[in-house]
Amino acid sequence: MRIAFLVAPEGVEQVELTAPWQAVADAGGTPRLVSTAPGTIQAFNHLDKAGTFPVDRTVADVSADDYDALVLPGGVANPDFLRMDERAVAFTRGFFEAGKPVAAICHGPWTLVEADVVRGRTLTSWPSLRTDIRNAGGEWVDEQVKVCEAAPATLITSRKPDDLKAFCEALTEVFAKASRD
């Protein structure tokens, strides 16, 4: 499976990128870093700069048709930048329109709110997004991981880095099932 990891040029929480990336690779998938700009992205450990990672493709050059699933890592700045980029929002929405699974952790659901794809879904996130999700028509729950199978696309969400083990297990299971269907 080809899995897009959508991140802004800076602000992604490093562990929320690297742990799911490794889980996808360990499950035999092919993770690819998609961003709003070419070059490298700057990851963070909370508010401190961490590693940099090379961008494989930009949202200007890809569509949801190029991938089998999408992962939206968190970090506060990352999804805030993404939700202000029309191409990133359209790319995200494309996975739902195509019925492909999407996984988002921490602040990642902000991009989902902007893409108007949470209405009628149950999901979790960092607690500060609760009101945004509810205002966008979603139901927010305080759970380690939530898998919402509302049509047309399955959505996997988690709250924070402490939930990464459960998040990675859920997303690899859902992605594997989708590739068999």
* DSSP classification of residue 49: E
Catalytic residue list contains 46:
no
pLDDT tens digit sequence for 64-84:
999 999 999 999 999 999 999
Listed in sequence order, the DSSP H helices in 53-163 are 77-83, 86-97, 109-114, 130-135
pLDDT tens digit sequence for 23-58:
999 999 999 999 999 999 999 999 999 999 999 999
Q: Residue 135: is its pLDDT beyond 90?
A: yes
Q: What is the pTM of this model?
A: 0.98
The Cα–Cα gap between 39 and 62 comes to 16
- Catalytic residue, chosen from 46, 106, 148, 168, is 106
Domains of the chain: 2-180 (3.40.50.880)
